[in-house]
Structure 1
Amino acid sequence: MRVYPQMSSAATWSRRIALLTLQLFVLTILLHQFAGLSTPVAMRVFGIAVLGAVIAVALALVALWRIWQDGSRGSRRALAAIFAAALVLAGPAWSLPKLFLEPGVTEVTTDATAPPAFRELAKVRADVARQVQAAAAPSPDSATTGPLTMKPLTVERSAEETFSLVRESIDELGWSIVSATPPADGQAGYIEATDRSLLFGITGDVAVRIRGGQSRARVDVRSASRYVEHDLGGNAERVSSLFQQVESAVARLEKNEEIARLARLRAERAKRIREAREAKARREKRQKQAYDTVSRQWRAPSAQRNRSRSRRSRRSQRQRTQELRQFWESMQR
């Protein structure tokens, strides 16, 4: 009688737990992205899925060790469990270095003394139990939790034009604009928007303030996380991406203006060439008219002399004819 090795129960349970956590992870992402599942609930479920994936990996490693020791079956199940758990743990593993390398902040601003205020978004942020401070400078005791300060962006454009460029850049980044107030009568322009992460859909709030005159404007940005206690550098990346997009928009605008300037120069040059040709044609026409006038004036006396000469020649011919006739008559007599 042939005896088959026993199936490892640890491998079986590791695969079951890994597949369950993977399904829970994917389902939570779909519900959070498309079905309106609240972010706090989704984050708790994410935590449960990550914990289940860790347990599945631990059971799979135990199963592989026992299989190596006693020759039990189930290595494929253990490897499948590790693969499924790795799909769940890929996101946290990718974020783990940032957890230790990035400062533990939930807000980034370019003006620590008077950051752009959340107006419409303040109501939403109050509903998720994160009160917004209108303007608070970070203290040394709260350097790890206070807002991180970045440099503002200065644009060599008017405030109105800069406002349009910033709004266009926000649209290109795919953020959702909540409110937009253009600058007018010396008042600063404000734009409030929200951004969601690509995979987990975690929402971040952004407030942009545009101040300046007719030739230069300053862009201040405030980016704050709504739910998480550590932004993993997301707010700083959000501000940097907005500034890069605005700079790209300014560069495109300058390029278009340069192209338009060159087109105007070419049009003006073509106009000058056309005007020069028309002036040359008019000058040649005047010269021809003057030449024709002089020619007529020179030909008129010559024609008159010719007519006088022809009259004299005809008169002399008649006289000769008469003389010949008289001579002939005299000969006949």
Structure 2
Amino acid sequence: MAPAGTVQPPAPAELPLRYSLAARMAGWFAVGALFMLLGAPFAYRIGLLGELLSIALFIVGATLAFCALAAGLVGIVRALMPSARVRGGLNSAVAVLIGGASLAAILHWMVLPGWDAPRIHDVTTSPKDPPEFDVARVAHYAGRDYLTYRAYDAQMQGKVSTAYPEIRTLVFDKSLRQVFVAAEAAAKDLQWTVFAADPTKGRIEAGDWSTIFGFVDDIVIRIRLNAAGYTVLDIRSASRTGAVDMGRNARRIQAFTEALDRHLPQYSTTRTP
């Protein structure tokens, strides 16, 4: 029995709940992840950040999302333990949701579609005679050097020209004009921005913007007759930003081929010129 006048300490069950450190950290990580993942692309689009810095901050945001997920899971476990006498389970759950959703979106949109793709950023149906850019890409690099397809392939020791053997010249048994009209329609179906379209030269140049950052990829389509008198179409897609396209340019060419097939269902197409 305690002496008279002394105050007994509260029983363990009566101790006040304290806020979990893991829950606090999870909340801050989640806020930081949202700020970086949303802010970096927005800042690039409005011209506040350059390409490399915006990508670096986005990677930081992805790292924070992972930290929010991990800390949030710890916070939930701690909140469910009666002996821990901590709170913050709801805050931790929200952090887990934000972190998990952010990582899932990054994996779905940016990583998984091209995780096994060749580490290149320039693809064409005609590696031996690639179509050349003449409008937007040249204007973008005005005053600065950029590698031609052949120079890039030589720098990569032939890895560019051999990366996608299944992507080859398309051959049609219809006129240049018919193929040109169908190609232009297919480009519009894919919501590309057409910079130039010259039916007399059989050339279409366009741009396609990435969903998240708005990075520009350039596209050139060349339509001409081959030695046998068939109409042949070659397309090239190249990224302005980054050394790796995660397979995006090859998928774009494939999507164009499929869109073109919808406009030329009755035409004879083959992969060999």
Choose from 119, 129, 135 the match for 2:134.
119
Choose from 199, 220, 237 the match for 1:207.
220
The letter of the residue matching 1:229 is A
User: Structure 2, unaligned stretches of length 5 or more?
Assistant: 1-9, 269-273
Equivalent position of 2:104 in the other structure: 90
Choose from 204, 208, 211 the match for 1:191.
204
| Residue deviations 1:148-189 (CA, integer Å, cap 9, x gap) | 341121122111221121112111211011122223xxxx42
Equivalent position of 1:298 in the other structure: none
Q: Which is further off, 224-233 or 61-70? A: 61-70
Q: 1:178 to 1:236 in 2, by over 3 A?
A: same
The letter of the residue matching 1:206 is I
Equivalent position of 1:233 in the other structure: 247
CA distance in 2, matches of 1:114, 1:135: 9
Equivalent position of 2:18 in the other structure: 6
The letter of the residue matching 2:202 is G
CA distance in 1, matches of 2:262, 2:186: 9
| Residue deviations 1:15-67 (CA, integer Å, cap 9, x gap) | 1220232144234444555x455661432332221122122223223334444
Alpha carbons 1:112, 1:136 under 8 Å: kept: no
What percent of counterpart residues are identical? Answer: 23
Equivalent position of 1:174 in the other structure: 191
2:105 aligns to what SS in structure 1? Answer: helix
Choose from 216, 222, 229 the match for 2:230.
216
Equivalent position of 1:133 in the other structure: 148
1:300-319 alignment, distance < 5 Å = none
CA distance in 1, matches of 2:160, 2:209: 22
1:260-271 alignment, distance < 5 Å = none
CA distance in 2, matches of 1:14, 1:206: 43
CA distance in 2, matches of 1:155, 1:176: 25
Alpha carbons 1:22, 1:49 under 8 Å: kept: yes
User: Structure 1, unaligned stretches of length 5 or more?
Assistant: 255-333
CA distance in 1, matches of 2:150, 2:156: 17
Instruction: Indicate the structure (1 or 2) with the bigger Cα radius of gyration.
Output: 1
Length-normalised TM-score, structure 1: 0.65
| Residue deviations 1:99-129 (CA, integer Å, cap 9, x gap) | 5422222111111111000111333452697
The letter of the residue matching 1:114 is D
Equivalent position of 2:4 in the other structure: none
1:55 aligns to what SS in structure 2? Answer: helix
CA distance in 2, matches of 1:91, 1:39: 23
Choose from 6, 22, 26 the match for 2:38.
26
Q: 1:79 to 1:63 in 2, by over 3 A?
A: same
Matched residue pairs, number?
A: 249
2:87 aligns to what SS in structure 1? Answer: coil
1:251 aligns to what SS in structure 2? Answer: coil
Q: 1:227 to 1:124 in 2, by over 3 A?
A: farther
CA distance in 2, matches of 1:26, 1:129: 31
Which one has a larger percent helix, Structure 1 or Structure 2?
1
